[in-house]
Amino acid sequence: SAVNSVTGSVGESEIADIILDDINNTFFAIFLNEGKVWSRSQEEYLPPIYLNAISDIVISENASEQTVNLSGIAASGLGFTHLRVTATSSNTSLIPDPVTSYSSPDSVGSLTFTPVANQSGFVTITVTILDGGLDRDLGTTGDNNTFQRTFDVTVTTLVDIDLRVVNSPTEVQSNGEVSVLPDHENRVNEWSSFWVEIWVDTTNAASQGIFSTTLGLNYHTEYVSATSIEYGAGFTENQTGTINDPGGAIENLSAETNVTNLGISEYLLFARVKFESLADDSVDIDIANQMIGPYDLEFSISSPEVSLVSSNPVQTNLSPFEGTSIWANPFDLNDNDMVDFRDLILFASVYHDIPSESSNDYAWFSDYNQNDQVEFRDLILFASNYRKSKAGDSALNYPADFPDAWGDPLLVSMQPQTKMKTANLTQGAAEQVLEKAIEQVSEQFTPEMNQSLSGIEVKVVDLSGATLGRAVPGTIYLDVNAAGYGWFVDSTPLDHSEFAVDSQLSLIALPESAAAGRIDLWTVILHELGHLVGYEHESAGLMEETLSPGVRKLSAWNADSDLFFASVQEEAELLPF
């Protein structure tokens, strides 16, 4: 046995001495004021020390300081004093021993740690709770109790994945790397072929480079078909991949490298997929809505997995992808995949027409230089493509401003992540807002501008994808449900009462107003009127090419915006401080 020459107290009793029997793990406590000796196993007599379980953590390399909360801390014995909390790391070269923050006898505490820069791997953190035992003195270790919890920290290496749409394969080094990613094509034309390239890279030199990559590639199969797969020069081993064109997917696209240090601070080509327009693919001109696009090809990556030569854990990051849209071929007026005599007949039927005044549905499509006249220059463009077909090898000749001149659609900044229940815009409501908008802008426009708005129509239709509205001479087209967000139809659009100031040319909807979370119809109609009088997309204000829900844009040419901000200033001067 061993003797701890200590004194203390339990409740109202004073302990003169505590003797530990090492063999039987039994304590003998002598109580002076009670004149008796107490003998009991400490584990049997005292409630156990405790700490709630701690969840495992996954963080990326170079993460900032992490804080882990500790809860349910409880001491053994009859009192909750003299507790100590410590933490240790199983790999201090990755995560140093955490710093604990705890004040006895609280039931909660915390610990903090910061991973070492540019390192990744696995660490086990052990948290130890120590109390003073019977005498509640941490300095007398014989009767102290301990309790431990562990949790794992995974520090991952970040691997970026980039998608690029290119017209022809990118030239790479012999190992498949490039220093700069190729320019991305955000639009392609019907009948054209192109490639989707997938690139991977990491900045972690300790990773020893990319070892393997596996993912799926999805696309809109109605418009184009995947026809072949090429793997990057560095990915020579265990190549797999299946083209499921009916399902619009490249499935189980996977390959491995057999060289170290690939993709470290350089972009490594994993694979490229060729897309072509085959017999069953179709991007038809939209006669009803007078549209040739854009139609989103919906490229996306699914289930990405990347491993490193070092076997360190990986976190993949899909870099922002702006998407790619496809435009219909306006020379194939009857959509039979060739520019032939029947298209010539349709073109001849509208020759010399003014599309904004014509009742013929094909007039706008045949105005190839988009100057609101079907004339000799349009005939020259048509003739340059006569007898060309989807199955042929000859590229189509488009005007230099195609498709920009064919109407810049106003797009929602981001499509809804979940389906929302919205009411459809009625034709009557759209016409009322258009009437108010024309009346409001007429004072700022020149007589020539106002003349171009004479007899303007609005049509509520189902526009594709993220398109909110678009304008062609004589007509504004509005999406029936604002790309899924629903419309805010303002009966008093000039007072902006549902909005607060965000910037000089932007207002933001008040949280509880009817405009919150909806697309502002007033903004969209004014935007399209701007296009009809000659304004193009701008970087800020009403003519921005995208619009977010709950936002109203003001124009630099709109005197109402000046009046609005003047009224705001007047109100601000009256506010007490």
Phi then psi dihedrals of residue 189, to 5 deg: -110, 150
Same domain? 24 vs 85: no
Same domain, 76 and 91: yes
Rounded-to-integer distance, Cα 524 and Cα 543, Å = 9
Tell me what pLDDT residue 340 has. Answer: 96
Same domain, 136 and 204: no
Backbone φ/ψ region at 11: left (φ over 0), alpha (ψ -120 to 50), beta: left
* 210, part of any domain: yes
Has residue 224 been placed in a domain?
yes
Dump strand ranges (E) for 257-380. 267-276, 295-296, 300-308, 314-318, 325-327
* Same domain, residue pair 86 and 216: no
Residues in contact with 228: Cβ distance below 8 Å, sequence separation at least 6, in sequence order: 273, 274
Amino acid at 426: T
Contact 124, 90 (CB under 8 A): yes
149 plus 172 within the same structural domain: no
Regions in the chain scoring below 70 on pLDDT: 1-48, 76-81, 133-136, 140-143, 407, 417, 557-577
Q: What is the CATH number of the domain that holds 148?
A: 2.60.40.10
Output the CA–CA distances (angstroms, integers) from residue 344 to 257, 384, 390, in the order listed: 54, 12, 17
pLDDT of residue 557: 63
Which residue is it, tokens 């007026």?
333
Residue pair 119/155 in contact by the 8 Å Cβ criterion: yes
- How high is the pLDDT of residue 562? 43
Mean pLDDT of the chain: 86
- Is residue 336 in some structural domain? no
Token representation of residue 19: 């003797």
Say which amino acid occupies 237. Answer: E
Res 135: pLDDT: 60
Please provide the DSSP assignment of 499-551 as one string.
EEEEETTEEEE-TTSTTTTSEEHHHHHHHHHHHHTT----SSSTT-SEE-TTE
270 located within any domain: yes
Is the residue at 93 inside a domain?
yes
417 and 560 inside one domain: yes
Query: Do 446 and 372 fall within a single domain?
Result: no
Per-residue model confidence as pLDDT tens digits over 378-427:
999 999 999 999 998 789 999 988 987 886 777 788 777 677 778 899 99
Token reading at 575: 């506010």
Q: How many residues does the chain have?
A: 577
CATH number of the domain to which 561 belongs: 3.40.390
Residues 199 and 251 in one domain: yes
User: Cα(first)–Cα(last) distance of the chain, in Å?
Assistant: 77
- CATH number, domain containing residue 245: 2.60.40.680
Residues 361 and 414 in one domain: no
* End-of-domain residue from the set 283, 298, 327: 327
Examine residue 332 and state whether it is found in any structural domain, yes or no: no
| Statement to judge: residues 356 and 294 lie in one domain | no
Distance CA 482, CA 411 (A): 9
**pLDDT for residue 162:** 97
Token pair belonging to 353: 């027409």
Encoded tokens for 14: 């004073």
Dist CA 425 CA 519 (whole Å):
11
Count of domains observed in the chain? 5
Residue 26 belongs to domain spanning:
2-45
**Domain-embedded: residue 524:** yes
Predicted TM-score (pTM) of this structure:
0.70
Q: Are 277 and 192 in contact (CB under 8 A)?
A: yes
User: Residue 489 and residue 428: Cα distance in Å, rounded?
Assistant: 11
Distances (CA, A) of 541 to 92, 546, 548, 569: 53, 10, 12, 20
Q: Is residue 125 part of a domain?
A: yes
Which of these three, 373, 403, 433, is where a domain ends?
403
Q: Quote the CA–CA distance of 303 and 308 in Å, as a whole number.
A: 17
Instruction: Specify whether 444 is located in the same domain as 476.
Output: yes
Closest to 223 in 3D by CA, of 275, 172, 271: 275
- 3-state SS of 262-278? CCECCEEEEEEEEEECC
Mark whether 421 and 399 lie in a shared domain: no
Whole-number Å distance between alpha carbons of 171 and 182: 9
Reduced to 3 states (helix: H, G, I; strand: E, B; else coil), residue 476 is strand
What tokens were used for 288? Answer: 């009803």
Nearest to 89 by CA among 165, 14, 151: 151
